[in-house]
Homo-oligomer: A and B are copies of this chain.
Amino acid sequence: MNSSAIRFLLGHVLAIEGILLLLPAIVGAFYGENSGLIFLLVAAVCIILGLLMTRRRPESNVFYLKEGCVITALSWIVLSVFGCLPFVISRQIPSFTDALFETISGFTTTGASILNDIESLDRCMLFWRSFTHWIGGMGVLVFLLAIIPLSGGSNINLMRAESPGPSVGKLVPKVRHTARILYEIYFGLTVLEMILLIVGDMPVFDAVTTAFGTAGTGGFGIRNDSLMSYSLYLQWVVTIFMVLFGVNFNLYYLLLFGHVKKALALEEVRYYLLIIVVSVGVIFIQILDIFKSVGESLTHAFFQVASIITTTGFSTTDFDMWPETSKTILVLLMFIGACAGSTGGGIKVSRFVVLFKTIAKELNSYIHPKSIRKISIDGKPVEHEVIRSINVYFITFMVVFSTSIFLISLEGKDMVTNFTAVAATINNIGPGLELVGPTKNFSGFRDFQKHVLMFDMLAGRLELFPLLILFKPAVWKEMLSKKA
């Protein structure tokens, strides 16, 4: 294990967090909030620690997938631990566990909150809370790749460990350029949403934080009622941008460079849109009874479907009161999730496309045992290794999911709360049903259960394995013994 490279990169991550923490400090200064100074303090600590850790260059620049995974997992833990300090020090979230929960929920773009009164927080705190979504959405290490010159080809392993989806396509031959292009698209779309929100008379502060929450598919709102009290226009802008941020970013890359035909042919995106249209259709019909107006029903149906499938988790209405079928659809969408290569969570549409094709192939093999037709996506055959890893991913997901449900159930809450609490965290959505429904929050869980859910949020965002291998003693032995 290349421990010195791990140390070096973790140092960079800390230093970057220090710099990012200056933004809420500026916001605090702008609004004249004393708590803004706390961000300065924490930023200083991060930057100093980061500089100390990066003073000595690593002995070797080469690292493999295991180092990529370990760095990724540790980075996200370090980011969250330091990122929660302003909440604790300012006593705006006095409990460390709660503050850590809120911060992990932010970075992992989950948006599950333990706050009963969001509006009581200072502006700089609210800004940082939403900003963590934006940082977590594209990934800190991808950002690192975009700005820091790292050695040769091995850094694809970093990107592979942090990026969502079954396989990481480099858009361009160099990982560094790919990372930069991704961040440029991300930045551009976020600014565009801010502008459209401000044009629709949303206060600038609200527009900025809402855009962060949408872009990272996070879902932290700055009001206690999420987005319920905003105008129809604003709700539709957010709806459309949620859908856009749930799309595989390859699409935008292809569009930017004029490959329109190729972009429109992307199978994953087409299925993603199809699922949205069908779900909206069924729910729309079901909730017509509740809202009485076609427009309102359509707005709520579309908003909520987009919010859940992209794993954002904003809400404009209490969907826990909707009919069973609509709720069941929303729960199923939680697991499907957004496209690979987007900022969304869940199992990802492309994995399901491959899984369904695997089933079709299996059925076919009963009839034509000698057929050796390969599964293909976008016209290209899918490597056997990719299919295998998707299978294993799905199975591991279910095992982590079931284990979490069991651990959460120890507290004795009802089954729907337990089930949807785990579903909403491991898929990085935010709200679930019943006691964790859209008008409620996660403050009612005990500390042990909160830790399980924090694990689930990280496991979901990092796609399980980078986090799980930290539980293998062999990894720690290797890391501490400094052997390669």
> Which A residues contact B (CB, under 8 angstroms)?
64-66, 69, 323-325, 327-329, 331-332, 335, 355-356, 358-359, 362-364, 366-367, 369, 388-389, 391-392, 394-396, 398-399, 402, 405-406, 409-416, 418-419, 433, 465, 468-469, 472, 474-475, 478
Contacts and interface: CB of A to CB of B under 8 A. Distances in A.
A395 B396 contact: no
A476 to B, nearest CB: 11
Contacts of A396: 359, 362
Secondary structure class of chain A's binding surface, majority of residues: helix
Contact of A465 (B363, B412, B413): B363
Contact of A415 (B65, B324, B362, B406): B324
Contacts of A335: 402
30 contacts: A69-B366, A324-B409, A324-B411, A324-B415, A325-B406, A325-B412, A327-B409, A328-B405, A328-B406, A328-B415, A332-B402, A332-B405, A332-B406, A356-B399, A358-B395, A359-B395, A359-B396, A362-B392, A363-B469, A366-B465, A366-B469, A367-B469, A367-B474, A367-B475, A388-B388, A388-B391, A394-B394, A394-B398, A415-B416, A416-B416
B324 A413 contact: yes
Q: Which of A325, A329, A395, A409 has the most CB of B within 10 A?
A: A395
A412 B327 CA distance: 10
A355 B66 CA distance: 22
**Copies per assembly:** 2
Contacts of A356: 399
Given A324-B409, A362-B389, A364-B472, 12 more contacts: A66-B369, A323-B412, A324-B411, A324-B418, A325-B409, A327-B415, A328-B415, A332-B402, A356-B399, A358-B392, A363-B469, A415-B416
A415 B329 CA distance: 11
A164 B342 CA distance: 41
Contacts of A469: 363, 366-367
B472 A329 contact: no
A107 to B, nearest CB: 22
Contacts of A325: 406, 409-410, 412
Question: Which of A415, A416, A475 has the most B CB atoms < 10 Å from its CB?
Answer: A415
B402 A391 contact: no
Given A359-B396, A363-B469, A395-B359, A324 B369 contact: no
A355 B324 contact: no
A355 B411 CA distance: 28
A45 to B, nearest CB: 32
A119 B314 CA distance: 53
A399 B355 contact: yes
